[in-house]
Each structure stands twice: as structure tokens, then as C-alpha cells.
Structure 1
Amino acid sequence: MRILSLLLLTLCIATGCCSQKKTDMTSTQIEYSAHSRGYYKTIVAQNKTVLVTKQRNAEPEKINIDDAKWNEIVAAYSKVNLDNLSALKAPTDKRTYDGAAIGNLKITKDGKTYETPGFDNGFPPKEIEKLVNLLVDFAKE
């Protein structure tokens, strides 16, 4: 009886660990952009690479992402509710009087695009803050 219980417990633990699916990011593109009259930045992440453009009409800089950083991005992305992305409210309104550039997060997954309304660059909504900050870190390097 003990052996049977031990085998069942081992089986349950093993299948529980294996059933945790990793978020599939192969067909997902995450784009963060911030712009104003004198400021421009676009960051596009897809398949462990990031393209950073810091000026209008400039060639993007390609950055390869290491596995640890990519896993952070995947973890932050998996917490984002794509269906509610268009309903997020900006915590501040500095962009309305040129106090901040207009930030925007756009996620394209399986051919469908999910996009936030504009928010102040540097002050994203709480629901996407971790993901946006991870992307912006690439433009600082």
C-alpha cells in the first residue's frame, strides 16, 4: 500500500511539473514606441532579438537577448491580459501638454494586434509596467 501511494504521489508530482507550459513566443512580436516632437524611440522584441531605433528614419540596432533576459520578458508577457490591453488607463497625463512623450505598447500574436492607448513615456500602466521597463532597458545600453 505504501509503495502504491508513493508511486501515485511521484506520478502526480512529475505530471504537475511537466504540465506547466512555457508561453509560446515564436509568433509574437512586442513593440514599444515613444515619440513626441523632439523624441523618438522604437523597441521591437521577437525571437530572442531586439531592434532598437532611437531616431526617425534611422537604421535599427539589432541586439541578441541572452536566455535569462528573454525568460524575464516571457514571464512579464505571460502576466499581460491581451484582451484588456486596449482598456488600460494611463496613470499620468503629462503627454497632453508636452510634458512627456507618448508611449504605446503593441503586441502582435498569431496575426492579431493588441494595442494600448497612449500613456506617458516612463509612466506605463501598472499592468504592463514590468514588460515595458524590460524593453526600455535595451535602449539604455
Structure 2
Amino acid sequence: MKSLFSIFLVIFLSKGCSQEQDLSDVKIIYGANNRGFHRTIQIEKDVFTVVNKRDAKPVLVELTDAQWNEIGKLYSKIDLNTFNDLEGPTMERAYDGKPHADMSIIVKDKTYTTKGFDHTIPPAKIKEFVDYINKLADDAVAKNPVLGSYSVEELLSKDVSKKEYFISFDADKVSGFMGCNMYSGTYEFQEETISFGPLMATKKYCENEMENETSWFKVSSEVSTFKMEDKTILLYDNENNLVLKATKK
């Protein structure tokens, strides 16, 4: 009888350390930040949102029933009794080697928060959960549609298709050639908006080839939106005037 009671007590205590899979009264917030990275994942009432840029609006991620069930299953393994004491096994965040991450769980009127950890290296006790929600966030991030190198066909209503002008987009860098000097700079895009930072260029002078280049350097700072039409990119200014048209090589 005593041994039977002991078994019951162990089962009872082990259940007390975990939660049900029902997330209806639970809010989960995961955040990771450093100078070059930002991510916020929020899960609340069957809504999964992700923010991947500072000051950006949350993006709703549509999850399947199987994905929601997996989140619930992994959440049920988390022990809230020890959650506030969880801390990562590494300290790369101390020298900016990794973004600083933490996670909070709000159940009704009580909040539980980790002591912090390196992004992608969470405490072992929540590793499955953290890895899974970050994978969902990674899969939801739209691939950059503008990546690639393009031959410029039109610049400020001028047909320049006979020229050898081009513009190339890497992950966060734009570069190209508009007749005389090679140039490069940074750019940012989100959905249909795009903006260019200051463009740096070599200092050559090319007779009869400077007008278009100078115009591009001036107007590039006014570019605000873009459209993709198959392999063609269209760049527009703040007044929706077409600035540049180019087709992927």
C-alpha cells in the first residue's frame, strides 16, 4: 500500500511540473536582439506572430493543426517551477557573438521569465521548444525577391538597354555600374518598400558618360517602392514615378 502511494505521489508531482497542451490562457514571448539582429516571436490564443526587424509590424504566421499540436506538446514539457532559474550554457552574447535571447511565459496573472541565453543556444530544458518555434519563424521569413544581378533597361524614362548598365542585390548590399564608376551601398526592403543608403563610388571621370550616372546617384535616395514582374524589377520614387527598370541576367 505504501509503495502504491509513493508511485501515485511521484506521478502527481511530475504532472505538477508540466502544463497541459491547451494554450488558450497562455502568452509566450521570445525575444532575441543585438546590434545587427532582431526577432520577436509571440504566441497567444492560437496566434503566432514574428517580427524580424526593429519597428516592423508583426507578421502573422499561418500554422497547420499539426504544428499547433507540436507546440502544445513541447510546451507541456516545460517546468514552470524552475523556469525563472533557466540560463543558457554559453555567454557569446557578452561580446556580441550571439544575440541576447530570453523567453517569458504568462499564465493568467503570473509571469515566468528566463535569466537569458544566447540565441540558438537555449537552456537544455527548453531547447526543443525554442528550437521549434524559431524554425517556424525561419520558415515563415519571406525570401528576398530582389536578389540577383539585373541589366538596366530604363533609367528615368530613358532607354538605356544598349548600355552595359547593371544593378545587383546581395543580402543587404546593392552594387552596380551606370556608365563610368562602380558603386555600392546598403539597402533595406520589406514587402513592397525598398530604400537605399548612400552610394559609394570610384572617382573616375568619363566623358559623355556622367549624366546618367549622376542622375542615378541623385535619385537613388528617393526610391521607396518596388515591383517584381517575373524577372524584371521596377523601382519607384515617393510620387510613384518609375525610376529604374531592369531585368535579371
**Which TM-score band applies after superposition, normalised by the shorter structure?**
0.7 to 0.9
**Structure with the larger helix share:** 1
Q: Which residue of 1 aligns with 2:58?
A: 60
Where structure 1 has 5 or more consecutive residues not aligned to the other structure, the ranges are 1-20
Q: CA deviation at 1:22?
A: 5.0
Say whether 1:104 aligns with 2:102: yes
Say whether 1:71 aligns with 2:104: no
Say whether 1:44 aligns with 2:42: yes
Using the size of structure 1 for normalisation, the TM-score is 0.81
Count, aligned residues: 121
Q: Which residue of 1 aligns with 2:124?
A: 126
Paired amino acid for 2:22: D
Correspondence list, 1:74-93, <5 A: 74-93=72-91
Quote the Cα distance in structure 2 between the aligned partners of 1:88 and 1:22: 20
Farther-moved stretch of structure 1 (46-55 vs 21-30): 21-30
Quote the Cα distance in structure 1 between the aligned partners of 2:137 and 2:73: 20
Quote the Cα distance in structure 2 between the aligned partners of 1:119 and 1:110: 25
Using the size of structure 2 for normalisation, the TM-score is 0.47
Quote the Cα distance in structure 2 between the aligned partners of 1:86 and 1:121: 17
Question: 2:29 is paired with a residue of what secondary structure?
Answer: strand
Question: 2:22 is paired with a residue of what secondary structure?
Answer: coil
Instruction: Please say which structure displays the higher CA radius of gyration.
Output: 2
Farther-moved stretch of structure 1 (43-52 vs 119-128): 43-52
Where structure 2 has 5 or more consecutive residues not aligned to the other structure, the ranges are 1-18, 140-249
Runs of 4+ in 1 over 4 A off after TM superposition: none
**Structure with the larger strand share:** 2
Quote the Cα distance in structure 1 between the aligned partners of 2:70 and 2:58: 23
